[in-house]
Amino acid sequence: METFGNIDLLKLPKTAFLCSRKAPASAVLKCYDWATAMREQNRCVVSGFHSPS
C-alpha cells in the first residue's frame, strides 16, 4: 500500500468546516480562534473556502 501525507490524521476525530465569502470580519476572527484551538487539541479539520471568483 502506498500513501502520501500523514496517515495518522485518519485516526483523529474529524470536523468539516466551510467558510462563506460573505462572513463578516467578526466571524472570521472567531473562526480563526476556533481553528487555532482545534490545532492545539490535535483535531483534524477538513476545510473549504468559498471564494468570490
The rounded distance, in Å, linking the Cα atoms of 49 and 29 is 15
pTM of the model: 0.62
Domain membership of residue 21 as a residue range? 14-49
In a domain, 21, yes or no: yes
Residues 6+ away with beta carbon under 8 Å from 3: none
The rounded distance, in Å, linking the Cα atoms of 38 and 31 is 10
Sign of CA dihedral 38, 42, 46, 51: positive
Give how many domains the chain has, as a whole number: 1
In a domain, 8, yes or no: no
**Residue range 6-16, pLDDT digits in tens:** 888 788 888 89
In a domain, 2, yes or no: no
**Residue range 31-51, pLDDT digits in tens:** 889 989 998 988 888 887 776
In a domain, 30, yes or no: yes
| Most distant CA atoms of the chain, gap in Å | 45
